[in-house]
Structure 1
Amino acid sequence: MVGTRPPVLAILPLLLFDLMERLVRRLILAVLLNLSLLAVAQASPDKVHSTIVFTDNLQKDAALSKRLNAPILLVVSQEHCPFCDLLKREVLNPMALSGDYRDKVVMREILIDLGETLINFEGKSEDAAEFAHRYDVYLTPTLLFLDPHGNELSKRIVGVNTVELFYFYLTSAIDSAREKMQ
């Protein structure tokens, strides 16, 4: 029987085995690709999970500031602000996590684009954006260094120029504010 083709039923198991082998390879490749994408997404998140406390009551923060004799570092930011995220990820979160400034400054954050309200230093309810407007904050991020009465103690920092130098400017402003608290 030279030159005759084998019956279809005879090669069907071979075809099915080949098909299954290709499907398994593709499935394994898809799983590995998804795992690698998940790892990348976790390593570089779009949104920064902040270690800075969001505040809705500056009067309580002022009481803590008074008790610690430490200035309030108020980060004025927005939900969809890439520079705010950069600042938190590269400077503020590591600073907060280090614990070096735990008793030196009361770090708080407000968002001005979500229509949130807060209790201001006078104990009155106020829209966060209106509060920022009273301090002439129009760009985010803006860092304010305040005493327990809401007075600015040192020069504010507006925006992010170079992350590498930002820590120096920030610590200098904190030190200046701490000196004025004494």
Structure 2
Amino acid sequence: MAIHSSLFPLLTPRRREWLLWVGASLTALPVMAQVQASRSAAATLPAAQSLPDELARALKNKQPLIVMVSLDGCVFCRQARQSHLSPMQKAGTPIVQVDMRNNQPVLDFAGKLTTHDELTRQWKVSITPTLLFFGPGGKEVAERMEGAYLPDFYGPYLEERMARGRRAL
């Protein structure tokens, strides 16, 4: 709905300001949505599909496989992905995601078909985000990172676990 130019001078300065603000806000919505979509896309991790294959690729590069157990809508999971895990994964660190309460099929370390949700129960994960560090035979090679850490400490704790995992290989 456009305001006819002859009516614009009749508006009070406060209403005129409000209408200009509303118009500018509506114009910015598509841009803001695109920025948010690109941020979301940048903060994704590949879903685990075949843990034996993913572990083999990690071990070939002398790295532990990091598995992030996440929950849809978890703010702390999104923060960990955005700030630390997604950039690490893009730089070559082997990281996959398992979604709690998700029935997506996945091969476990024994090669048995199961679901993401069932894996989280087998691993006794009850809090998200949880990071697990796997080495040969699908054994955990570093202490789990469970829950949210203070943002200033998340990176150092993660790097410490990675170093322990590499030493255990």
TM superposition score normalised by structure 1: 0.75
Confirm or deny: 8 A CA contact 1:74 1:108 kept in the other structure.
Answer: yes
For 1:84, the equivalent position in structure 2 comes to 77
Matched, 1:63 2:62: no
User: Which of residues 129, 132, 140 in structure 1 aligns to 2:117?
Assistant: 129
Confirm or deny: 8 A CA contact 1:73 1:106 kept in the other structure.
Answer: yes
Deviation at 1:36, TM superposition (A): 3.3
Q: Residues of 2 paired with 1:78 and 1:27: CA distance?
A: 41
For 2:40, the equivalent position in structure 1 comes to 48
Report the AA paired with residue 163 of structure 2.
D
Matched, 1:165 2:158: no
Q: Residues of 1 paired with 2:68 and 2:143: CA distance?
A: 13
Larger radius of gyration: 1
User: Which of residues 59, 68, 81 in structure 2 aligns to 1:75?
Assistant: 68
Kindly tell me: are residues 22 and 37 of structure 1, through their superposed partners in 2, closer, same or farther at Cα, counting changes over 3 Å? farther
For 2:137, the equivalent position in structure 1 comes to 149
Q: Residues of 2 paired with 1:89 and 1:159: CA distance?
A: 15
RMSD of aligned Cα (Å): 2.7
Kindly tell me: are residues 112 and 18 of structure 1, through their superposed partners in 2, closer, same or farther at Cα, counting changes over 3 Å? same
Q: Residues of 2 paired with 1:161 and 1:170: CA distance?
A: 10
Confirm or deny: 8 A CA contact 1:144 1:152 kept in the other structure.
Answer: yes
Deviation at 1:40, TM superposition (A): 4.5
Name the SS for the 2:40 alignment partner. coil
Confirm or deny: 8 A CA contact 2:69 2:131 kept in the other structure.
Answer: yes
Confirm or deny: 8 A CA contact 2:66 2:95 kept in the other structure.
Answer: yes
Matched, 1:108 2:101: no
**Cα deviation 1:35-60 (Å, max 9, x = unaligned):** 33444455556x83334221121121
Q: Residues of 2 paired with 1:27 and 1:81: CA distance?
A: 37
Deviation at 1:20, TM superposition (A): 7.2
Confirm or deny: 8 A CA contact 1:91 1:163 kept in the other structure.
Answer: no
Q: Residues of 1 paired with 2:10 and 2:153: CA distance?
A: 53
**Cα deviation 1:97-129 (Å, max 9, x = unaligned):** 4x2xx2xx4111111222222111111101212
Confirm or deny: 8 A CA contact 1:75 1:144 kept in the other structure.
Answer: yes
Deviation at 1:66, TM superposition (A): 2.8
- Report the count of equivalent residues: 159
TM superposition score normalised by structure 2: 0.80
**Cα deviation 1:141-163 (Å, max 9, x = unaligned):** 00000014210001000011201
Q: Residues of 2 paired with 1:166 and 1:38: CA distance?
A: 33
Identity %: 24
Name the SS for the 1:130 alignment partner. helix
User: Which of residues 5, 22, 25 in structure 2 aligns to 1:33?
Assistant: 25
Q: Residues of 2 paired with 1:150 and 1:65: CA distance?
A: 11
